[in-house]
């Protein structure tokens, strides 16, 4: 069926509600928009759905959410897991509560219990609740840090991590097998409650989650550090209540929340693009921090799984830490303090993704921990935790990715900005008791392990043409791999889709040892590197760069030269 036929079906079939049909009829003379909404189904990828809100089979709406849920329900039934149930959380985005309720009622109509949070909750708490309640699966309605016009739908399995191979492929197959939206089951809320299928959860899970976080404290907060001034912004998302609660229960008395960004706002009206990687989201927080004389500024993204950090430098100005820097800062604190307290496991492991900086390797080596590298996506870190539990091969201590996500402990199997806030503030208080600021400690980490510096360049290419352009760019790099960049030779070329590592000097080819993924990685001289990959959640192609210098100035110069090399320019 072509896109115009699908459009006609959605505008005439009374299965689709009047609001949906009217929205589409208003596009009658806009062929480009019609094509974009109907040329393909919104892809249920390896983590779930993510897309622009609106009517059409290539948009996030009640019908695409129900279809995805029906596919998940079919898989759960085949696994014999319907009695265990599914837990559902959602964030502050448009349609999030409605999508959560509709997903629950679809599950209920298939005889599967649903445990739905009473109001918005962070993604990591969903991961925690799934295992706490003994459910077979979990769903979180969120588009993370995407712009306001987006929403998404992520699926978790009973280990608490997002679905990975082979379950992701099997669930995708079930979703794709549904070609008739009217075949999707649903039921009304009252009937679902009467049958004991629809359950509301909330405070009791919050309490248990908080208790698990507090077990991870290594150094209780010293009295002289409890008045440390912290500015925090939830960026209109789910972090506000849990972050404030954990800091209060740890004893911090001067936590200032940015008032304009405290409450949920589906339009993210003060920032637009609620991404803690973007320095612009800190504008109001920095203003407040200067007013109160804050030591640090913290920002969590809308579903509170990623943390952005700014620390006050020696000149009094705030410095934004990259995800690699904050991850290394937390890793060094956790490993050093566990070592000092003799609680660091002999078989400790530190996990990072393939596009995360190389300082992680040095930290792991220093503490005799195993360094494990996984594909981009925190679900692969969660997968390793499960493997450790099954085999006893290693004990998880810390994992992080360059995009501001990390996890301390195993209460969650996804990145957790709430526990990251807790640990970073604990670290700040500990170093303050030693007469050191976080900024000074970051410099000590550089001095100890090397002056590593990284950058990320994202190029947005929207629509059908953009998708084709991204494929073309990746294809060109595969056919003609870069041999030199930034004045440095490429030593090895990794193609994760082909599972190959090619030594450019000898021509020898070895496997990557990781699952196939559309990622290219160039290993350069002097510990430099570049990786290229399409975004899994936005219409972008991403270029990751990393260097090691003899000083921060030297590293900055090397990085600038590499980032601006014509070999990685997209025309």
> Is pLDDT of 537 > 80?
no
The model's pTM: 0.95
> Given 96, 127, 137, 144, which residue is catalytic?
144
Domain membership of residue 310 (yes or no) is yes
DSSP class of residue 187 equals: -
Domain membership of residue 549 (yes or no) is yes
For the ranges 85-89, 142-146, 414-418, the lowest mean pLDDT is seen at: 142-146
Q: How far is CA 541 from CA 374, 491, 569, in A?
A: 20, 23, 11
pLDDT at 462: 87
Which stretch of DSSP H or E encloses residue 504?
Answer: none
178: which residues sit within 8 A by CB, 6+ positions away?
67, 70, 71, 184
pLDDT at 1: 84
At 95-133, the pLDDT tens digits run 999 999 999 999 999 999 999 999 999 999 999 999 999
242: which residues sit within 8 A by CB, 6+ positions away?
121, 122, 125, 206, 209, 210, 304, 418
- 241 with 139, same domain: the answer is no
- 455 with 444, same domain: the answer is no
> How many CB atoms within 10 Å of residue 266?
16
- 409 with 274, same domain: the answer is yes
Domain membership of residue 166 (yes or no) is yes
Q: Which of 401, 403, 335, 413 is nearest to 374 (CA)?
A: 401
- 48 with 176, same domain: the answer is yes
- 156 with 280, same domain: the answer is no
The pLDDT of 187-192, averaged and rounded, is 97
Domain membership of residue 8 (yes or no) is no
> Is pLDDT of 80 > 90?
yes
φ, ψ of residue 297 in degrees (nearest 5): -125, 135
pLDDT at 48: 86
Domain membership of residue 77 (yes or no) is yes
Q: Per the structure, how many domains does the chain have?
A: 3
- 164 with 300, same domain: the answer is no
Q: What is the CATH number of the domain that holds 53?
A: 3.40.120.10
| 438-449 vs 417-433: helix crossing angle, rounded to 10 | 90
- 88 with 148, same domain: the answer is yes
At 208-231, the pLDDT tens digits run 999 999 999 999 999 999 999 999
- 130 with 183, same domain: the answer is yes
* Full domain range(s) for residue 51: 40-201
Contact assessment for residue 329 and residue 448, using Cβ atoms and an 8 Å cutoff: no
- 393 with 341, same domain: the answer is yes
Pick the last residue of a domain from 201, 234, 253: 201
> Is pLDDT of 288 > 90?
yes
Domain membership of residue 419 (yes or no) is yes
Domain membership of residue 4 (yes or no) is no
- 249 with 393, same domain: the answer is yes
Pick the last residue of a domain from 449, 475, 497: 449
144 has catalytic annotation: yes
Q: Which of 94, 95, 91, 92 is nearest to 63 (CA)?
A: 95
Pick the last residue of a domain from 172, 201, 230: 201
DSSP class of residue 232 equals: E
Q: How far apart are the first and last CA of the chain?
A: 35
At 160-185, the pLDDT tens digits run 999 998 999 999 999 999 999 999 99
pLDDT at 47: 74
Query: How high does pLDDT run on average in the chain?
Result: 96
Domain membership of residue 531 (yes or no) is yes
The pLDDT of 424-445, averaged and rounded, is 97
> Is pLDDT of 570 > 90?
no
Kindly compute the dihedral angle of the four CA atoms of residues 380, 381, 382, 387, in this order, to the nearest 10 degrees. Answer: 90
Q: Which of 386, 364, 383, 385 is nearest to 375 (CA)?
A: 383
pLDDT at 517: 93
Going along 461-519, which residue ranges are E strands?
484-485, 488-495, 500-503, 509-510
**SS3 assignment, position 148:** coil
- 188 with 329, same domain: the answer is no
pLDDT at 571: 55
Q: Which of 372, 416, 375 is nearest to 394 (CA)?
A: 372
Rg (CA), the chain: 24
Q: What is the CATH number of the domain that holds 480?
A: 3.30.310
The Cα–Cα gap between 413 and 435 comes to 35
- 312 with 226, same domain: the answer is yes
Q: Which of 125, 124, 80, 126 is nearest to 103 (CA)?
A: 126
Site of tokens 């590593």: 452
């Amino acid at each position: 069926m072509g896109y115009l036929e699908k459009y006609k079906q959605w505008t005439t079939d009374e299965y689709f509600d009047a609001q949906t049909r009217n929205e589409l009829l208003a596009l009658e003379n806009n062929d480009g928009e019609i094509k974009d909404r109907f040329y393909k189904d919104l892809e249920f990828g390896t983590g779930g759905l993510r897309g622009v809100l609106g009517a059409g089979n290539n948009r996030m709406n009640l019908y695409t959410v129900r279809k995805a849920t029906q596919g998940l329900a079919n898989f759960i039934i085949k696994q014999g897991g319907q009695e265990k149930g599914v837990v559902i959380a959602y964030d502050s985005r448009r349609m999030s509560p409605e999508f959560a309720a509709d997903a629950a009622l679809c599950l209920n109509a298939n005889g599967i219990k649903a445990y739905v949070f009473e109001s918005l909750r962070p993604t990591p708490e969903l991961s925690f609740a799934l295992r706490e309640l003994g459910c077979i699966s979990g769903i979180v309605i969120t588009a993370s840090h995407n712009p306001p016009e987006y929403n998404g739908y992520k699926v978790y399995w009973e280990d608490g991590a997002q679905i990975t191979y082979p379950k992701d492929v099997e669930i995708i197959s079930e979703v794709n097998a549904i070609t008739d939206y009217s075949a999707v089951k649903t039921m009304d809320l009252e009937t679902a409650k009467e049958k004991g299928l629809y359950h509301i959860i909330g405070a009791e899970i919050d309490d248990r989650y908080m208790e698990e976080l507090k077990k991870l404290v290594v150094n209780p907060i010293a009295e002289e550090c409890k008045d440390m001034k912290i500015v925090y912004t939830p960026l209109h998302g789910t972090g506000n209540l849990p972050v404030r609660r954990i800091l209060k229960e740890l004893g911090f008395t001067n936590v200032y929340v940015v008032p304009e960004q405290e409450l949920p706002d589906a339009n993210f009206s003060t920032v637009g693009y609620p991404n803690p990687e973007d320095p612009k989201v800190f504008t109001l927080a920095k203003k407040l921090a200067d007013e109160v004389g804050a030591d640090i500024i913290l920002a969590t993204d809308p579903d509170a799984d990623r943390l952005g950090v700014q620390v006050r430098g020696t000149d009094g100005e705030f410095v934004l830490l990259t995800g690699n820097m904050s991850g290394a800062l937390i890793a060094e604190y956790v490993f050093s303090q566990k070592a000092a307290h003799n609680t660091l496991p002999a078989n400790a492991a530190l996990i990072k993704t393939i596009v995360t900086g190389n300082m992680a390797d040095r930290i792991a080596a220093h503490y005799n921990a195993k360094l494990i590298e996984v594909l981009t996506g925190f679900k692969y870190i969660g997968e390793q935790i499960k493997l450790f539990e099954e085999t006893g091969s290693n004990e998880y201590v810390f994992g992080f990715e360059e995009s501001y996500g990390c996890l301390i402990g195993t209460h969650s199997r996804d990145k957790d900005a709430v526990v990251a806030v807790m640990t970073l503030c604990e670290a700040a208080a500990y170093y303050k008791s030693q007469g050191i600021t976080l900024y000074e400690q970051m410099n000590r980490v550089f001095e100890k392990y090397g002056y590593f510096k990284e950058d990320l360049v994202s190029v947005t290419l929207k629509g059908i043409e953009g998708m084709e352009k991204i494929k073309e760019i990746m294809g060109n790099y595969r056919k003609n791999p870069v041999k030199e960049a930034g004045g440095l030779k490429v030593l090895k070329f990794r193609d994760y889709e082909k599972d190959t590592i090619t030594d450019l000097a000898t021509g020898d080819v070895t496997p990557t040892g990781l699952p196939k993924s559309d990622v290219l990685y160039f290993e350069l001289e002097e510990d430099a590197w570049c990786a290229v990959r399409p975004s899994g959640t936005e219409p972008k192609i991403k270029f990751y760069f990393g260097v090691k210098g003899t000083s921060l100035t030297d590293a900055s110069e090397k990085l600038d030269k590499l980032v601006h090399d014509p070999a990685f320019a997209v025309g």
